[in-house]
Amino acid sequence: MHPILARPGRLLPYLAACAPLAAIVTALLARPGGLFLGEAVALAVPLTVAYAFMGLSPWYLCRQFPLKRERILPIVLAHALAGAVIASLWVGLAALLAAGFGLIPAFQSLPGRFAGQAIALLAAGFLLYLLSAALNYVLLALEAASEAERREAELEILAREAELAALRAQIRPHFLFNCLNSISALASADPPKAQEMCVRLGEFLRKSLSVGERKTISVAEELALSRAYLQVEALRFGERLQVEEDLDERGDLCQLPPLLLQPLVENAVRHGVASLIEGGKVRVSVACSAGRLRILIENPLDPDAPARPGTGVGLANVRQRLAAKWGADGLFAAKRLADRYMVVISVPAEVAA
Amino acid sequence: MRSVPLGVLIVDDEAPARSILREHLAKVPGVRVLGECANGLEALRAAGELSPDVVFLDIEMPRLSGFEVLELLDPRIAAVFVTAYDEWAVKAFEVHAVDYVLKPFEPARIAAAVERARERLASRAPRDAAALAAAARPAGTWLERVVVRDGARVHIIPVDKLFAARAQDDYVELSSEGKTFLKAQTLASLAAALDPSRFVRVHRSHLVRVDAIARLETYAKGSYVAILTDGSRVPVSREGHARLKTLLG
């Protein structure tokens, strides 16, 4: 439906805006040798109202034929044809009206005088059609712009929500309570280690809170955060937790949404290494080449372990955040093999301005 | 009257958690810590060798969860669960009157748990470990694997590989990939833990996984027999047939 007809409040102002058109049509009909002024007004008003509605029709054609440089010829032809049809219909309507007036004895000579003006009216109808088409194109462009704006705002909200979810998930109560318990254990058994754990935990929490505010952080900063987390976990898991990093210094400066990798590293520990009696190695590798940043996080897991509830939500969150920032260019894949689990992120390598 | 020292086994995969629990338990009068285990398999072995009166059991552990250990543990041993944060589990403990202590540990709470375990041992109250585990699962989630003890070995059967189960007095006989396993559990308790859209009680004493059924044959008037994909035959009662029909539409 045409946007002017879509909302009832728009119709009256639109018709009012067509009033000058009535004046033009009147002037056209009342040219010397044509109609008398009264006759011209009587004919021009219904014709203008009719055209006001006929003038909406290019909207559909405009939507069908969006303005594109490479398709200009078909666009011009289509509108020329439509303009000719609309103008002819309009003039036909005018002739009918004139004939109608001619039935009244006082206006007997009107149809004859009208015939002389028909060609001018046809030309005017055609030009009006072109004007209307142009206005409809402007209307379409405005709509497209507001649609794009709305979409962008939606993406922004999605990204914010994803960040909030990431922040909430960040400080998992389970993790905190376990840390507190470890600290209380170390406090008497190994006081220097208890102090170290307090420092590491403090460092991790501080970093988490400070980066959450920002839109993007560098890979180096994100990895530092993950490392702080892993150091805390190492105090709990001891020998069972090993970490291997395979870094690329070109990747260090690349930007990512904050707290994207850390939850993935945390999953690798909680659902991977922690599920194995002997523990295992979390592998983080970063590579940057051909304009793309690729990050792989891999962990071993217990083949008998059932799929953990909740991880799907976390992964969906990562996917959403990448999509919000890069659209189809932000790739994310998670794969469970028999005894390993891996997640891969591939995004355009973007360095902070 | 002097009470008998209570033998306690500590089961937690984190060394610092074990050491602080041992430290707190050492201060409770009448308690002797018999040993520490870092996972559920070790715990089952140690429980057999050391015959503890009470185990302090962590929930999240590698290979076997605390709930699975409880299912396989000698029912005469009292259990006190240990958890950092698990809303569902804590609710389940409250409902089933199972003792638990929260991390970080509070010494008084541990002493109280020991006291209650002592009372429980004296009263010999029965427990249903499977029902407890089911209550600790978030609503709408089902058992994903069944653990069975076979002497010193523990078998883990994913429900995808469980074909059927048959009631045998107080046991269920589970069939999976041509093998059968006996587990001390009632068929009703097992059926309650499994996803009702995948497992159907086709007979008073038989349960089958729906997608393991190859075909149904009429056995006699009003009774049927299900032929499973592994070739085994399971009787289907009139009620069981009706249940299958409702499920399969």
The CA distance from B39 to B29, in Å, is: 27
> A276-318 pLDDT, tens per residue?
999 999 999 999 999 999 999 999 999 888 776 556 767 888 8
The CA distance from A203 to A230, in Å, is: 12
pLDDT at B1 over 50: no
Could you tell me the CATH superfamily of domain B6-135?
A: Response regulator (3.40.50.2300)
Same-fold call for B6-135 versus B145-248: no
Which of A172, A178, A188 is best to mutate for the B interface (most B CBs within 10 A)?
A178
Domain span(s) for CATH 3.30.565.10 in chain A: 171-348
The CA distance from A86 to A58, in Å, is: 10
Give the contacts of A35 (CB within 8 A, at least 6 positions apart): A29, A43, A110, A113, A114, A117
Closest A-chain CA to B17 = A182
> A44-53 pLDDT, tens per residue?
888 888 888 8
- The domain ranges of chain B are 6-135, 145-248
> A53-80 pLDDT, tens per residue?
887 888 888 888 887 777 788 888 888 9
A vs B, Cβ pairs < 8 A, gives: 76
A184 to chain B: which residues are within 8 Å by CB? 20, 104-105
Contact A301, A339 (CB under 8 A): yes
Task: Tell the CATH topology of A171-348.
Answer: Heat Shock Protein 90 (3.30.565)
Distance from CA of A342 to the nearest CA of B (A): 19
- Please compute the mean of the pLDDT values over residues A214-228 and round it to a whole number: 91
Task: Tell the CATH topology of B145-248.
Answer: OB fold (Dihydrolipoamide Acetyltransferase, E2P) (2.40.50)
State the pLDDT at residue B196: 93
* Phi, psi angles (nearest 5°) of residue B208: -130, 155
Entry pTM: 0.70
Of the listed ranges A20-24, A257-261, A303-307, B80-84, the one predicted with least confidence: A303-307
CB contact under 8 A, A237 and B145: no
Distance from CA of A158 to the nearest CA of B (A): 27
